[in-house]
Structure 1
Amino acid sequence: MSQSVTSVSTAQGALSPAAGDSPFRQFVRRFLRQKLGIAAFVVLMILFLLSLIGSAISPYDPVKPDYNVLLMPPSAEHLMGTDEFGRDVLSRVINGARISLAVGIGSVLIGSVIGAVIGLTAGYYGGRYDSLVMRSCDVMFAFPGILQAIAIIAILGPGLSNVVWAVAIYTIPQFIRIIRGSTLALKNMMYIEAARAMGIPDWSIIWKHIFPGTFSIAMVYFTMRIGTAILIAASLSFLGLGAQPPMPEWGAMLSGGRQYLMSAPHVALFPGLAILITCLAFNLFGDGLRDALDRKIID
């Protein structure tokens, strides 16, 4: 009987996480099972690398025109062809990665920080402050995101920096709702009640005890929102409200190539593929993070 109990315990120990296994190692082990997440991570690392060294490896100047090779199709000399001004499309796509990633990450970072602060305090304190915050978010949710961004750009004026703020403002209520929901679930936990009973200040409880509990869901949503932010920024540039010529931004490139869809489709095809691949990679990476951070998954 004792031998059978020992064998069962040994089998259970083999199936459970190793003793002393850190949460980070458990996360890495779970994430390595997400094949699509790993593929998306590799794609994102390539994009980040291109954003860092793109200007050094691009074969041509992305903004210098060459009127001898207007609308040239893809060839050995120009792998993605040239646009209506003879500029190399590959060089512009490579250099556009830095702009699109900077706009996407920068806008979501600003929106997430502001949204996290408001969401944590609203969920923790509640009352009229919480009601005011949530009614304001409801008003913002009543309008489509692209219309909000267009309205903000109409006030601030066109330009890439204003696009960052427009997308950030659109992102704020999304993070407020997510962080507030997690805060409401955590603030009545036993360890939070114990911290209050010990006289720990509210700000310390919020940032040291509640915020870490919201970090995982916020990180997943942060990653997935970057793809949406890049898409909205590209849409604004497509409409002429974002990046201005001759800046090699993917949305602006797509806008410039739409009139050549029949005669030179490559001018719009490759920037469109860059937007598609980048947004898809961020979404798949976010899905992989969500599954890896889910503690219900048995190792």
Structure 2
Amino acid sequence: MSQVSQGKAGNSPWKRFVRKFSRQRMGMVALVVVVILFLLMLIGPSISPFDPAEPDYNAVMEGPSGSHWMGTDDFGRDIFSRVLNGTRISLAVGLSSVFGGALIGMFFGLTAGYYGGKYDSLVMRACDVLFAFPGILLAIAIIAILGPGLPNVVVAVAVFTIPSIIRIVRGETLALKNKTYIEAARATGLRDREIIWRHIFPGTISVVLVYVTMRIGSAILIAASLSFLGMGAQPPTPEWGAMLSSGRDYLTTAPHVAMFPGLAILVTCLAFNLLGDALRDALDRKLTD
């Protein structure tokens, strides 16, 4: 009896997920990188060796050295300190915009998929309108209306995220709402709201988690692009896209000014995309252990 119980415990969904995820080598590496990024987000400003906004006109455009590991920019500011502080800004923008968009998208996706009818058609036509615009152009249009600044970048990227979440969650809801256990829940007299949040919502979590994880990298990239174009973070904020923009004029004379924030964007986006791929494979029940 104890062996049977141990076998069931060893075959629990959580342990199956951990076993399958641990076999994803690139996913494990990406997880380590993401954990490091979150640690830097929390403690980066406290361990940065210099004030990221304080200029030093005696050390303008210096290359990487023992005192300035990533060199200095055109104002003599330490690039390593600015990249560390930019980790908090870029991750905060990416996380807040994606999770904000995901919450709104999940609400409309669940309700549209469950109730259907004219409400479903209206929600999906609104998504089609948003899908008609390329993501970066939609974000630029929103910033043009709201004005530049990081709070408006969060809103723009969240709006860009909402229609994709709606379509994903609606599809999962349509697949789940006619299941036997949902019919049984209706037969017991549960209200629609209780059925949606108790029985359908948990079934959509895994696919949303995978999409959100991969979307964070895209959100950081779009936010950096907006800052690069002068529509996001404003000087002297140490945001990666703004740093990349200020360094583009010195690519031939001081490439380190743009190289290190560019590498930070590359590593962060790649880590979240690889982590999302690993989560998708680990949560896919069709793949064998």
Report the TM range for the smaller structure's normalisation. over 0.9
Give, in angstroms, the shift of residue 19 of structure 1: 2.0
Identify the residue that residue 140 of structure 2 maps to in structure 1.
150
The answer on 1:203 being equivalent to 2:212 is: no
Task: Please give the alpha-carbon distance, in whole angstroms, between the structure 2 residues aligned to 1:263 and 1:211.
Answer: 54
Identify the residue that residue 257 of structure 2 maps to in structure 1.
267
The answer on 1:236 being equivalent to 2:226 is: yes
- What are the equivalent positions in structure 2 for 1:1-299 lying under 5 Å apart? 18-21=7-10, 22-299=12-289
Task: Please give the alpha-carbon distance, in whole angstroms, between the structure 2 residues aligned to 1:25 and 1:191.
Answer: 25
Name the SS for the 1:18 alignment partner. Answer: helix
* Counterpart amino acid of residue 91 in structure 1: S
Task: Please give the alpha-carbon distance, in whole angstroms, between the structure 2 residues aligned to 1:20 and 1:71.
Answer: 59
Task: Please give the alpha-carbon distance, in whole angstroms, between the structure 1 residues aligned to 2:126 and 2:7.
Answer: 47
Name the SS for the 1:75 alignment partner. Answer: coil
* Counterpart amino acid of residue 259 in structure 1: D
Give, in angstroms, the shift of residue 18 of structure 1: 2.8
* Counterpart amino acid of residue 49 in structure 1: L
Name the SS for the 1:84 alignment partner. Answer: coil
Give, in angstroms, the shift of residue 166 of structure 1: 0.7
Task: Please give the alpha-carbon distance, in whole angstroms, between the structure 2 residues aligned to 1:200 and 1:213.
Answer: 18
Task: Please give the alpha-carbon distance, in whole angstroms, between the structure 1 residues aligned to 2:86 and 2:206.
Answer: 30
Give, in angstroms, the shift of residue 75 of structure 1: 1.0
* Counterpart amino acid of residue 158 in structure 2: A
CA RMSD of aligned residues (A): 1.3
Once the two structures are overlaid, the 10-residue window that deviates more, 18-27 or 210-219, is 18-27
Give, in angstroms, the shift of residue 191 of structure 1: 0.8
Identify the residue that residue 8 of structure 1 maps to in structure 2.
none
Cα shift readout 1:77-96 (whole Å, capped 9, x = no counterpart):
11100000000000000110
Give the count of matched residue pairs: 285
Give, in angstroms, the shift of residue 155 of structure 1: 1.0
* Counterpart amino acid of residue 19 in structure 1: K
Runs of 4+ in 1 over 3 A off after TM superposition: none
Give, in angstroms, the shift of residue 298 of structure 1: 2.1
Give, in angstroms, the shift of residue 194 of structure 1: 1.2
TM-score (norm 1): 0.94
Task: Please give the alpha-carbon distance, in whole angstroms, between the structure 1 residues aligned to 2:129 and 2:288.
Answer: 41
* Counterpart amino acid of residue 9 in structure 2: G
Who wins on radius of gyration, i.e. which is larger? 1
Task: Please give the alpha-carbon distance, in whole angstroms, between the structure 2 residues aligned to 1:98 and 1:127.
Answer: 43
Which runs of 5 or more structure 2 residues have no equivalent in the other structure? none
Name the SS for the 1:258 alignment partner. Answer: helix
Give, in angstroms, the shift of residue 76 of structure 1: 1.2
Name the SS for the 1:245 alignment partner. Answer: coil
Once the two structures are overlaid, the 10-residue window that deviates more, 145-154 or 250-259, is 145-154
Task: Please give the alpha-carbon distance, in whole angstroms, between the structure 2 residues aligned to 1:67 and 1:271.
Answer: 21
* Counterpart amino acid of residue 103 in structure 1: V
* Counterpart amino acid of residue 187 in structure 2: A
